Structure 1
């Protein structure tokens, strides 16, 4: 007579392993969704704050003073070229910078560039040495409107979700560009 082999024990162990892997993947997906949802909500709050700005000065104050708090960042700067001159707008200071520096930076980055760094981009100015994660977002515009880069920085190296993060930051940059054009058209 033949002997019956029981596969039950091995099958149950395999199913338990698969169930554990599925639960782990599900927890990772839920954590990602919560983080993405939080980032999306923060971007929306930042754009709403921007929409309340009635002048370029108010717009710059929202970006440099309020956005770091809303977005959970350490530093936000704007590097703009207007009327052929380069400017850096950051918390508590508006400074001139070489237009070539801004134009060169624009030529070297994608529409949204997210990266960890040992030192932030020089357009961050005096705080560049403390920046370890940065997002550089192009702000294109047709002449005679200003164009430039939105710079977002953190002091800690952060894991960056390039695909979804780039979409959100692209929206943030497009919103900033539209609001800047609106403020300048109203002058």
Structure 2
């Protein structure tokens, strides 16, 4: 009798592990799809203003986050975008912010990154994604009010892809 009970317990444990793996795979596939949709939406933009409307207006819905802000510097200057619009910024400030970042940083915070502006007060976890290109440097910040930040190598790899794609898009975007 003990062997049968032990076997049933082990089968139940394996079924639970299998359910967890299926749930992870579904979530990962959804994240991959969301990142791809975000990149495709950004590729369709033909001006910096339109690109920033996509990033700060459409990306929160596509990526299922509460806020997106971005800053980048290129030969034309420094720029910052959030849901309130696109503004000029000192390029050296952006270069300094970006130079201290890893390609992707996921963290819990008491207050969101300064790029969120007043909206940062409600951000409790965020992803900082460095932008690197031959003539572009900067960062994207994704923020959420609650929930755990994306964890693990796969989540960071997806966000790194998003940053790399945006770096290339900004390289080709006409100067402001």
Question: Mind listing any 5+ residue stretches in structure 1 that lack a counterpart?
Answer: 1-8
CA RMSD of aligned residues (A): 2.0
* Equivalent of 1:158 in 142, 148, 166: 148
Superposition deviation, residue 100 in structure 1:
4.9
Structure 1 equivalent of residue 130 of structure 2: 138
Q: Residues 110-129 of structure 1, C-alpha deviation per residue, up to 9 Å, x if partnerless?
A: 10111111111122222111
CA distance in 1, matches of 2:72, 2:149: 28
Superposition deviation, residue 70 in structure 1:
0.9
CA distance in 2, matches of 1:134, 1:159: 7
* Equivalent of 1:75 in 67, 80, 86: 67
Cα pair 1:117 1:157 within 8 Å, conserved:
no
CA distance in 1, matches of 2:104, 2:59: 18
Is residue 35 of structure 2 the alignment partner of residue 29 of structure 1? no
Superposition deviation, residue 54 in structure 1:
1.4
Count of aligned pairs: 176
Question: Mind listing any 5+ residue stretches in structure 2 that lack a counterpart?
Answer: none
Cα pair 1:115 1:160 within 8 Å, conserved:
no
CA distance in 1, matches of 2:93, 2:120: 15
Q: Residues 10-58 of structure 1, C-alpha deviation per residue, up to 9 Å, x if partnerless?
A: 1111101110110010010011011101111111111111111112221
* Equivalent of 1:124 in 111, 116, 124: 116
* Higher radius of gyration, 1 or 2: 1
TM-score by length of 1: 0.85
CA distance in 2, matches of 1:52, 1:93: 18
Distance 1:54 1:98, change over 3 A: closer
Moved more, 47-56 or 95-104: 95-104
CA distance in 2, matches of 1:107, 1:45: 28
Structure 2 equivalent of residue 16 of structure 1: 8
Structure 2 equivalent of residue 62 of structure 1: 54
CA distance in 2, matches of 1:97, 1:124: 14
Q: Residues 86-123 of structure 1, C-alpha deviation per residue, up to 9 Å, x if partnerless?
A: 43211122234454543343233210111111111122
Distance 1:159 1:14, change over 3 A: farther
SS of 1:184's partner is: coil
* Equivalent of 1:42 in 24, 28, 34: 34
